[in-house]
Amino acid sequence: MKIYQKGDKKLLNAWAFYDWANSVYPLVISTAVFPIYYGFITESNKYIEFLGYNFKNTALISFVTAVAFMLLVIIIPILSGIADYTGKRKAFMKFFCFMGSISTISLYWFEIDNLTLGLAYYFFAMIGFWGSLAFYNSYLPEIAFKNQQDAISAKGYSLGYFGSVILLVFNLLMVNFPDFFGIVSDNNVQAPIMAMKISFVTVGIWWFVFSLYTFYYLPSHNTTSKFNSKIVFNGFKELYKVWEVVKLHSYLKSYLIAFFVYSIALQTVILVAIYFGEQEIIWAEGEKTGGLIISILIIQLIAIVGALVSAKISEKYGNISTLIILNLLWAVLCFYGFFIESSNEFYIAAGLVGLVMGGIQALSRSTFSKFLPKTDSTTSFFSFYDVTQKVSIVIGMFLFGAIDQITGSMRNSMLFFMTFFFIGAFLLIKLNKKIKA
């Protein structure tokens, strides 16, 4: 097979194409169709037994998500260290990709009667997506020169957004017009629900098939280096080295602490938004399924506007000041979420979520890059950033699930997470004063 050199257009495009392949998972599975399906199969019994304990349905999915991210925090640095030493980065990426896509297809068989097995499919699909993404991102400095990286990274995001929306719209049509696609009720399963099950299969196949194009072009660098126990902790050693550097740069340290605090709320609210809409909102007869998926499309489309508007505001007022505003808007949005009940109110909330989500995610990453010390090892710093974000998700999902489980309402969790945005804004205000002093 021909080996393509760094900077080659075919290699760059093939790398970016993995975004097209995998982005259908976070949109269709994590945030759109699966939360609706999960809500439907647990609707008649919102408290379900799992591993000998009684869990509220939404609390259970929060706990499973938290455990998945906890495992990722542990294994990704270990596997990254092994991959760097042995040159098996492509093999690891393939493993996680194929595991994730096959697990996603297996969600077709997720039923309340086989809850444990179904949650295992959900768990390994999530591990597969985030695991493959870690190795995918690490390829960027290897396949692209510095002056190419911004453009090809943006192309990847664009391809991912475009492809995932295409499949989501197709799935939305299947769910709303199952007869047109020849989907009929089976074994007492309503046609729209059968369409959701089929959508899981379409996501897994899309992810698997389109990833093959990427894997054909990505280079393999298997070395003759033998595996030994010392390399297992290389990834953690790199993270510790980054932390030692972070401690020497007060602005960077202060920013990371603020980022960690508000990410606990930010990432959690984004992950549970549709579960909230499925359970807490009063929908008209036959409105829920289409309404929830439309809400996701609203979030996705307005997020683009949010990112662009936030970038313009940051040009005028600075990154930190803009992030302070966004944190305060998120806090107000959480407060608003506590009171909303109707579908129209939820649509408004979806639009506002998109507006502030697009801004805060894009700006958080770029702000972090601006605080980095002059170094050639930016990959290590972004690995640290990635781990910081994942740990915040673990804490956030556990807290959200615990409050939901104890109080019996997701609304109380929303109100609780409002405080994290206020604390995040307070820490950013202190940083801003320190910078201007």
Question: Which candidate, 314, 387, 316, 349, places its Cα nearest to that of 75?
Answer: 387
Listed range (92-96, 353-357, 393-397, 416-420) with the worst mean pLDDT: 353-357
Q: Say which residue, 168 or 307, is predicted with more confidence.
A: 168
* Residue 383 domain flag: yes
Does 271 lie in the same domain as 195? no
For residue 187, is pLDDT > 80? no
* Residue 201 domain flag: yes
Provide, rounded to the nearest whole percent, the portion of the chain with pLDDT above 70: 92
Does 270 lie in the same domain as 191? no
For the residues 362-379, what does the mean pLDDT come to?
71
For the residues 283-310, what does the mean pLDDT come to?
79
Could you read off the pLDDT of 254-268 as tens digits, one per residue? 999 999 999 999 888
Is residue 184 within 8 Å of 191, Cβ to Cβ?
A: yes
Domain count, the chain: 2
For the residues 31-42, what does the mean pLDDT come to?
85
CA distance 143 to 140: 5
For the residues 390-413, what does the mean pLDDT come to?
87
For residue 97, is pLDDT > 90? yes
Q: Which of 191, 219, 247 is the last residue of a domain?
A: 219
pLDDT confidence tier of residue 115, bands split at 50, 70 and 90: confident
When mean pLDDT is compared over 60-69, 187-196, 217-226, 303-312, the highest value belongs to 60-69
For the residues 189-210, what does the mean pLDDT come to?
92
pLDDT confidence tier of residue 331, bands split at 50, 70 and 90: very high
DSSP letters, 97-139, are HHHHHHHHHHGGG--GGGHHHHHHHHHHHHHHHHHHHHHHHHT
Listed range (36-45, 194-203, 230-239) with the worst mean pLDDT: 230-239
The CATH number of residue 402's host domain is: 1.20.1250.20
CA distance 265 to 331: 9
CA distance 246 to 134: 22
Does 288 lie in the same domain as 158? no
For the residues 201-222, what does the mean pLDDT come to?
90
In this prediction, residue 154 carries a pLDDT of: 66
Q: Which of 197, 219, 241 is the last residue of a domain?
A: 219
When mean pLDDT is compared over 3-7, 43-47, 324-328, 355-359, the highest value belongs to 324-328
Rg from Cα positions in the chain: 22
Does 263 lie in the same domain as 164? no
In this prediction, residue 44 carries a pLDDT of: 72
* Residue 114 domain flag: yes
* Residue 226 domain flag: no
Tell the burial category of 313 from Cβ atoms under 10 Å away from its Cβ (0-12, 13-18, 19+): middle
Does 265 lie in the same domain as 196? no
Does 239 lie in the same domain as 307? yes
Is residue 125 within 8 Å of 26, Cβ to Cβ?
A: no
Mean pLDDT of the chain: 83
Q: Say which residue, 14 or 365, is predicted with more confidence.
A: 14
Does 250 lie in the same domain as 208? no
Q: Where are the alpha helices (DSSP H) in 247-377?
A: 250-280, 288-317, 319-339, 343-371
Could you read off the pLDDT of 220-242 as tens digits, one per residue? 765 555 555 666 667 677 778 87
Q: What domain range includes position 208? A: 7-219
In this prediction, residue 232 carries a pLDDT of: 64
Could you read off the pLDDT of 42-51 as tens digits, one per residue? 877 778 888 7
In this prediction, residue 109 carries a pLDDT of: 92
For residue 404, is pLDDT > 80? yes
Does 185 lie in the same domain as 239? no
Q: Two tokens at 284?
A: 């008209």
> Phi and psi of 200, rounded to 5°?
-60, -40
Does 207 lie in the same domain as 237? no
* Residue 177 domain flag: yes
Question: Which candidate, 174, 93, 162, 194, places its Cα nearest to that of 304?
Answer: 162
pLDDT confidence tier of residue 137, bands split at 50, 70 and 90: confident
Give the count of alpha carbons within 13 A of 290, CB side only. Answer: 10
Does 38 lie in the same domain as 174? yes
Question: Which candidate, 384, 427, 412, 76, places its Cα nearest to that of 272?
Answer: 412
